[in-house]
Copies of this chain bind each other. A is one copy, B any other.
Amino acid sequence: MSRPLSPPPDAAPVACDPPAGPSAGTRRRRKEARPQELLAAALALFVEKGYAATRSEEVAARAGVSKGTLYLYYASKEELFKAMVRECLGSPIAEARAMAEQFEGSMTELLALLLKEWWAHMGQTAAGGICKIMMAEARNFPELANFFLDEVINPSHEQLVAVIRRGIAAGEFRPVPPDAAVQVLISPMLHMVLHQHSFGACPLHGPAIDADAVLSVQLDLMLNGLLAAPQSKN
């Protein structure tokens, strides 16, 4: 049940969500799929090589179209990049939020659930690549970086902060500074996501990170560290 964390499942979920074009169901020609294919190609290449080192012709080729066609859909390389980032974020936050609101168990359980969700989305999906490319390019695209912060990082963060706060308020967690605790909480997964798309994808890289092991140790340690009353309770 433990899977080493090396070659990211790049090919598997080509787009983050199969975003179901305007008329999903009847597949016309291919034209309707073009933007998605281009974004998927862009994602794979930008993540692999970085923005500047990726040639737009490569993206087109990977999407199976010619150089010129790319420009029918995106006005420039930069627009393609921005579209890719905006597109591949999609709805996961919304989903997680919905899940959290309906949740009725303990905060401990909710935390575990959310972290698993996060990993399932970021670790198992090409969306994780967005994290790497944003980390690499944030300073070159401040506007995008802020978009990413507003749409992804801060909402996720706030959601987890809220859970921690609720847990503390309920006496379930020890009183810790929630912001810092959230950083501690998500870091291992974030690290694995980034590793997956950098060192982990190098041909000769060293010992792979065992994602499942890290996740379970992380939950174990964190919850042990967070829980208020020593285990004698319950």
Alpha-carbon gap, A53 to B50, bound state (A):
10
Out of B52, B135, B201, B210, name the residue touching A194 (CB < 8 Å).
Answer: B135
Task: List chain B residues, Cβ under 8 A from A232.
Answer: 230, 234
Q: Is the CB of B198 within 8 A of A139?
A: yes
Indicate the size class of the contact surface on chain A.
Answer: 35 or more
Q: Is the CB of B177 within 8 A of A213?
A: yes
Which of A17-25, A28-36, A91-99, A215-223 is the contact stretch?
A: A215-223
State which residues 132-168 of A face B: CB under 8 Å.
132, 134-140, 142, 145-146, 148-150, 153-154
Q: Is the CB of A136 within 8 A of B139?
A: no
Q: Is the CB of A145 within 8 A of B183?
A: no
Q: Is the CB of A184 within 8 A of B214?
A: yes
Alpha-carbon gap, A146 to B179, bound state (A):
35
Question: How many monomers of this chain does the complex have?
Answer: 4
Q: Is the CB of A199 within 8 A of B52?
A: no
A231: Cβ under 8 A from any B Cβ: yes
A67: Cβ under 8 A from any B Cβ: no
Q: How far is the CB of A163 from chain B (nearest CB, A)?
A: 15
- A contacts with B: majority SS: helix
Given the known inter-chain contacts A221-B222, A225-B220, please indicate yes or no for A135 contacting B187, CB distance below 8 A: no
Chain B: CB-nearest residue to A201: B139
A226: Cβ under 8 A from any B Cβ: yes
Q: Is the CB of B132 within 8 A of A135?
A: yes
State which residues 64-101 of A face B: CB under 8 Å.
none
Chain B: CB-nearest residue to A223: B225
Task: List chain B residues, Cβ under 8 A from A203.
Answer: 142
A172: Cβ under 8 A from any B Cβ: no
A27: Cβ under 8 A from any B Cβ: no
Task: List chain B residues, Cβ under 8 A from A3.
Answer: none
Task: List chain B residues, Cβ under 8 A from A48.
Answer: 139
A224: Cβ under 8 A from any B Cβ: yes
Task: List chain B residues, Cβ under 8 A from A188.
Answer: 183-184, 187
Out of B148, B180, B190, B191, name the residue touching A214 (CB < 8 Å).
Answer: B180
Q: Is the CB of B187 within 8 A of A145?
A: no
The 4 closest A-B CB pairs, nearest first, are A221-B225, A52-B52, A136-B136, A225-B225
